[in-house]
């Protein structure tokens, strides 16, 4: 009698387990939850970051008018806290945050590439650490500490007035040579997307910086025109990073199979 009862209980437990498996297969939401630890809505993230970027650029422009046309140095902290050309404020920390996020996404790809022994796994890894460093640099303004020593040593003026750009251009040239084969190995649509992100970011960080250096050398920095130049520069940099983040989301969704993260 006792053996019969145990067999019946075992049979019931088996049927319950089968029913649970059937539910997991038939309910997409439950299936997704079990196959991926975290589900990320990439469209919402990119749109939110784009809105924040637009607001920061607008606030910086308003701050420039308050400072140079209205004569308000602070306006209850609004002017310094939203000046895109100042370190240690809201825009600089936001830029550092999105650079760090891009570095994190590069690391996700790198870990997958290492797992499948991809030929360019090292390149993805380098990119991850590079953007983590750029995040630190954005928050601290480390690269700007090169300006005075180089300017004093070589008396740079004009477009080279912000003399760190010389080091920046050499780095970009070396980076381009080292990553050329990596870039050519990307799928066609991702070549365009990564190239667009790079053009926006480097165009702002170096291209507009050269223009800003020429203007600063000739007319100084305490005027609304120079303020607008720096706003364009930082705006392009942030836009480039947003395009990069959007591209990385697309790449991860198309070419990795992470069970810890799900991108939609």
Show me where the domains of the chain are located.
96-257
Q: What's the pTM?
A: 0.82
Where are the alpha helices (H) located in the chain, listed in sequence order? Answer: 2-26, 28-35, 42-68, 78-81, 90-115, 121-140, 147-154, 164-184, 188-202, 209-219, 224-255
pLDDT reported for residue 142: 85
Tens-place pLDDT, residues 206-243: 999 999 999 999 999 999 999 999 999 999 999 999 99
Average pLDDT, the chain: 86
- Does residue 23 register a pLDDT over 50? no
Q: Is 24 or 83 the better-scoring residue by pLDDT?
A: 83
- Residue 251 in this model has a pLDDT that exceeds 90: yes
What's the pLDDT at 151? 83
Checking if the pLDDT of 25 tops 50, the result is: no
Position 141 scores a pLDDT of 85
């Amino acid at each position: 009698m006792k053996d019969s009862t145990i067999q019946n209980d075992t049979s019931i437990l088996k049927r319950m387990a089968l029913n649970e498996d059937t539910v997991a297969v038939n309910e997409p939401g439950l299936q997704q939850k079990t196959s991926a630890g975290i589900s990320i809505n990439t469209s919402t993230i990119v749109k939110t970051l784009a809105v924040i970027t637009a607001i920061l650029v607008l606030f910086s422009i308003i701050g420039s008018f308050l400072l140079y046309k209205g004569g308000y140095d602070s306006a209850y902290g609004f002017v310094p806290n939203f000046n895109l050309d100042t370190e240690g404020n809201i825009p600089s920390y936001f830029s550092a945050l999105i650079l760090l996020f891009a570095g994190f996404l590069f690391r996700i790809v790198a870990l997958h590439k290492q797992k499948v022994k991809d030929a360019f796994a090292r390149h993805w890894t380098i990119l991850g650490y590079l953007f983590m460093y750029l995040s630190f640099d954005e928050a601290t303004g480390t690269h700007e500490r090169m300006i005075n020593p180089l300017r004093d040593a070589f008396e740079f003026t004009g477009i080279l007035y912000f003399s760190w750009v010389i080091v920046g251009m050499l780095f970009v040239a070396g980076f381009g040579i080292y990553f050329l084969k990596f870039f050519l190995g990307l799928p066609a649509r991702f070549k365009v997307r990564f190239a667009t992100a790079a053009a926006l970011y480097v165009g702002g960080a170096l291209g507009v910086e050269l223009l800003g250096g020429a203007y600063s050398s000739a007319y100084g920095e305490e005027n609304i025109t120079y303020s607008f130049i720096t706003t364009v520069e930082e705006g392009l940099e942030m836009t480039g990073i947003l395009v990069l983040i959007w591209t990385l989301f697309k790449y991860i969704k198309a070419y990795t199979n992470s069970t810890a993260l799900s991108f939609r």
